[in-house]
């Protein structure tokens, strides 16, 4: 096998190239190769300076996460970085792609950093339940200052090349031939005196203790049960007050403890599960159909959200509504979403304007004729959707893929009346569709492989995490969500109150409890669906235990936040427990003949998780989901399950084995 690190000496410069696809992770072999290159730089008298670069799509994207399940093998990364720093000859890192984690720490061991345009740099370790473990918390503050370093290390968000240049993280962005510029910089640094590394610098002073304390408090408040961000902040604080050597040792200790923590194991599980989700070996040799123009029917929240997602990914969209007024409303909805994305800095002005320029809305279905893929996002009604698919089939070309965004309905039944049901798939987006990363790709019974591949290709173009599912009421996520919603409502009838269940879920790590979330989303749609189900139109099994509390709430006009009251009352926008709701709940218990009892937080979460696992097992047994890991990905990315708990199956200690 080719060695992942190669070297070449010319004109006094040792060029070191890392070539370890796909992302040049710092495996043991790469570390050994770099250590050997460092020895070569020391030993070879003609070498005056070193340029470190990487082949392929990126500079080093971090330590090799796959190695984290075993004890590290030498040379260790902190030792390598220190050795590079103390070579006695300057190293210049030439960066491109995503310079992350151990990759950035490696660059911080060098004596100068140049980045090609478009490079992103970050220390995302907290997202894996870790902190930088190779000197990042000690060197970065010495380079860019205490507060910017705290933000990068505890937030985990990468910065772009321009921001990196502003803070001094990189010395320059290359403008011409990057390698020539890096070589010139290396020779310029090669002088009589050995170059000083960042570790030799004094730690920065904190200018304003009040601001610093507030920043630390913000990290703790945002962590919501996660250890890594708090540990990361503590490591940066250590770096400011301890001698460098002691701070490095303290960082390493923290890193090693976190590496073996359940939180990091859970986050690493989700990292790999997300990447495995979209892998569909059966499609390995299947070419997706072209995707140049997307059609969307329906301009409500979902239709507009999907349109925004497509437009922001550079795909032109034609939206069709039932009449001109609705089309104008759809266009307005879309504009609001794009403006919001501009306001949040997700897109810049030119991307915003390009997105708008690629958009058309109207009330004529024939405008969808040139579309490569049409997504219906109309009202959740089988007959209406089935009729729409038939009308679409008459309008579009023979190769156009038709997709339904239904959340629950049987798409096989929906496409029964089509001449070519093999062109139909489900693309189940989550609201807001331009923000949420999850996409359930529903593979209908008759879908052709290239149609499925096209759905997956669209998901990837939109930057979604694509999880394949089969047809079944509520597919993966909503089926499981319904089960634990029922479990929560059963607990209300057994003795708990909404605020107790919500608090237990928040303590577990959810941003919001079940009932706060329902109030936010509105209770009326689910109510209408339950009534439709009761009337038999959705053809779904009835749960064994029906709890009527939500129905009573809706009958009392309590539809959630938007109506000023739901599971809570809203005073000045704040959720307040409402005695009226407690009365509705206790009356329901009495009607069901249940003696109410106190249900503790632990039991609440046990019953929630138990319901998720039971429904998840059914979803697996019926072949609707491929794996427990896929279910974990769905619940984390679509339903607020705390990522650092790894998803319900990981949390319950169940793996695909």
Q: Which is nearer to ligand 3H9, 261 or 537 (CB)?
A: 261
Residue 128 beta carbon to ligand 3H9: minimum distance, rounded to whole angstroms? 5
Q: What is the DSSP string of 457-480?
A: HHHHHTT-EEEEEESSTTTTHHHH
Contacts of 444 (CB under 8 A, 6+ apart): 411, 412, 415, 421, 424, 425, 426, 471
CA dihedral 328, 334, 339, 344 (to 10 degrees): 160
Dihedral of CA atoms 642, 647, 650, 651 in degrees, nearest 10, equals 40
Chain centre to alpha carbon of residue 507:
22
Count of residues that interact with ligand 3H9, criterion CB under 6 A: 24
Close Cβ partners of 184 (under 8 Å, ≥ 6 residues apart) = none
Tally Cβ neighbours within 10 Å of residue 413. Answer: 14
Measure the CA–CA gap between 21 and 13, rounded to whole angstroms.
25
**Residue 227 touches ligand 3H9, criterion: CB under 6 A:** no
Looking at beta carbons only, is 158 or 298 nearer to ligand 3H9?
Answer: 158
Strands 569-571, 574-576: pairing kind: antiparallel
> Considering the complex, what minimum distance in angstroms separates the CB of residue 130 from ligand 3H9?
6
Q: Which of 115, 337 has the CB closer to ligand 3H9?
A: 115
- Candidates 63, 302, 480, 505; binder of ligand 3H9 (CB under 6 A) is 63
Looking at beta carbons only, is 77 or 462 nearer to ligand 3H9? Answer: 77
102 binds ligand 3H9 (CB under 6 A): yes
* Continuous segment of H or E residues that includes residue 17: strand 13-18
Closest separation in Å from C-beta 347 to ligand 3H9: 19
Give me the least distance between CB of 168 and ligand 3H9, in Å please. 20
Q: Which two tokens stand for residue 300?
A: 């409500």
| Stretch binding ligand 3H9 (CB under 6 A), from 63-71, 401-409, 565-573, 580-588 | 63-71
Per-position x/- string for 258-277, each x denoting binding to ligand 3H9 as judged by CB under 6 A, each - no binding: -----------------x--
CB of 305 to ligand 3H9, least distance (A): 22
Count the Cβ atoms, other than its own, within 10 Å of residue 412. Answer: 17
Cβ-based nearer residue to ligand 3H9, 13 or 309: 309
Residue reference for tokens 């959740």: 380
Q: Which is nearer to ligand 3H9, 121 or 497 (CB)?
A: 121
**Smallest separation, CB 409 to ligand 3H9 (Å):** 32
d(CA 307, CA 330): 10
Binders of ligand 3H9 among residues 21 to 50 (CB under 6 A) are 22-23, 25
Tell whether residue 441 is a contact of ligand 3H9 (CB under 6 A): no
Whole-angstrom distance, CA of residue 275 vs CA of residue 460: 12
Strands 159-160 and 120-122, bridge-based pairing: antiparallel
Q: Is residue 157 a contact point for ligand 3H9 (CB under 6 A)?
A: no
Residues in contact with ligand 3H9, shown as a per-residue x/- string from 117 to 146 under the rule CB under 6 A? -------xx--x-x-xxx-x----------
Q: Which is nearer to ligand 3H9, 108 or 355 (CB)?
A: 108
How far, in Å, CA of 152 to CA of 159, rounded? 8
Q: How far is the CB of 251 from ligand 3H9 (least distance, A)?
A: 9
| Shorter beta-carbon distance to ligand 3H9: residue 125 or 321 | 125
Residue of 17, 54, 9, 51 whose CA lies nearest to 33: 17
44: burial class by Cβ within 10 Å (0-12, 13-18, 19+)? middle
Residue 194 corresponds to which tokens in the numbers above? 């050995």
Of 90, 101, 560, 646, which lies in the binding site for ligand 3H9, with binding defined by CB under 6 A? 101
Instruction: State the Cα–Cα distance between residues 94 and 110, nearest whole angstrom.
Output: 10
Q: Considering beta carbons, is residue 256 or 286 the nearer one to ligand 3H9?
A: 256
Residue 229 or 421 with smaller CB distance to ligand 3H9: 229
236 binds ligand 3H9 (CB under 6 A): no
Nearer to ligand 3H9, 461 or 512 (CB): 461
Give the span between the Cα atoms of 480 and 631, in whole angstroms: 9
* Residues numbered 68-87 forming contacts with ligand 3H9, rule: CB under 6 A: 77
Taking the complex as a whole, how short is the minimal distance between the CB of residue 257 and ligand 3H9, in angstroms? 13
DSSP assigned state of 574: E
Is 100 one of the binding residues for ligand 3H9 (CB under 6 A)? yes
Query: What is the contact surface with ligand 3H9 in residues (CB under 6 A)?
Result: 22-23, 25, 61-66, 77, 98, 100-102, 105, 124-125, 128, 130, 132-134, 136, 275
């Amino acid at each position: 096998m080719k060695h992942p690190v190669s070297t070449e000496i010319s004109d006094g410069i040792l060029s070191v190239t890392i070539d370890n696809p796909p992302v040049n992770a710092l495996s043991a072999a790469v570390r050994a190769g770099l250590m050997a290159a460092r020895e070569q730089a020391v030993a070879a008298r003609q070498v005056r300076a070193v340029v470190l670069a990487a082949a392929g799509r990126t500079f080093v994207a971090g330590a090799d996460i796959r190695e984290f399940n075993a004890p590290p093998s030498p040379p260790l990364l902190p030792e390598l970085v220190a050795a590079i720093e103390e070579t006695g000859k300057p190293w210049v890192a030439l960066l491109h792609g995503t310079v992350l984690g151990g990759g950035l720490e490696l660059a911080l061991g060098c004596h100068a950093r140049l980045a090609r345009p478009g490079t992103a740099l970050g220390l995302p370790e907290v997202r894996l339940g870790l902190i930088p473990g190779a000197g990042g918390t000690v060197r970065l503050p010495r380079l860019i200052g205490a507060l910017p370093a705290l933000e990068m290390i505890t937030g985990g968000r990468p910065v772009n090349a321009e921001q990196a240049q502003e803070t001094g993280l990189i010395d320059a962005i290359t403008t011409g031939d990057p390698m020539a510029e890096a070589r010139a910089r290396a020779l310029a640094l090669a002088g009589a005196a050995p170059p000083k590394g960042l570790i030799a610098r004094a730690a920065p002073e904190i200018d304003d203790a009040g601001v610093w304390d507030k920043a630390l408090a913000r990290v703790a408040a945002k962590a919501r049960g996660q250890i890594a961000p708090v540990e990361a902040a503590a490591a940066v604080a250590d770096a400011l007050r301890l001698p460098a050597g002691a701070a490095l040792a303290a960082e390493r200790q923290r890193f090693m403890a976190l590496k073996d923590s359940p939180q990091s194991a859970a986050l690493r599980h989700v990292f790999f599960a997300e990447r495995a989700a979209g892998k569909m070996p059966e499609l390995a040799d299947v070419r997706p159909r072209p995707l140049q123009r997307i059609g969307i029917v329906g301009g409500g929240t979902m239709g507009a959200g999907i349109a925004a997602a497509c437009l922001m990914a550079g795909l032109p969209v034609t939206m069709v509504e039932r009449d001109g007024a609705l089309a104008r409303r759809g266009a307005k909805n879309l504009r609001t979403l794009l403006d919001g994305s501009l306001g949040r800095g997700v897109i810049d002005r030119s991307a915003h304007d390009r997105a708008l320029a690629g958009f058309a809305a109207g009330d004529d279905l024939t405008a969808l004729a040139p579309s490569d893929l049409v997504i219906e996002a109309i009202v959740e009604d089988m007959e209406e959707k089935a009729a729409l698919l038939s009308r679409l089939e008459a309008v579009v070309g023979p190769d156009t893929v038709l997709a339904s965004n239904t959340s629950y309905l049987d798409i096989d039944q929906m496409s029964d009346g089509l001449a070519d049901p093999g062109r139909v798939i489900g693309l189940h987006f989550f609201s807001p569709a331009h923000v949420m990363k999850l996409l359930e790709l529903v593979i209908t019974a008759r879908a052709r492989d290239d149609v499925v591949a096209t759905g997956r290709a669209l998901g990837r173009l939109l930057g979604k995490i694509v999880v394949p599912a089969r047809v079944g009421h509520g597919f993966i996520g909503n089926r499981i969500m319904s089960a634990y919603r029922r479990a929560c409502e059963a607990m209300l009838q057994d003795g708990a109150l909404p605020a107790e269940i919500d608090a237990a879920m928040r303590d577990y790590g959810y941003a919001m409890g079940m009932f706060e979330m329902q109030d936010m989303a509105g209770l009326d749609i689910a109510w209408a669906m339950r009534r439709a189900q009761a009337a038999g139109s959705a053809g779904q099994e009835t749960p064994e235990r029906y709890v009527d509390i939500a129905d009573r709430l809706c009958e009392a006009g309590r539809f959630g936040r938007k109506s000023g009251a739901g599971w809570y009352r809203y005073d000045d926008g704040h959720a307040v427990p409402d005695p009226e709701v407690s009365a509705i709940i206790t009356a329901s218990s009495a009607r069901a003949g249940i003696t109410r009892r106190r249900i503790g937080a632990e039991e609440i979460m046990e019953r929630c998780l138990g319901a998720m696992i039971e429904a998840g097992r059914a979803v697996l047994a019926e072949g609707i989901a491929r794996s427990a890991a896929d279910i974990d990905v769905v619940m984390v990315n679509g339903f607020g399950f705390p990522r650092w708990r790894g998803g319900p199956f990981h949390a319950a200690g169940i793996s695909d084995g």
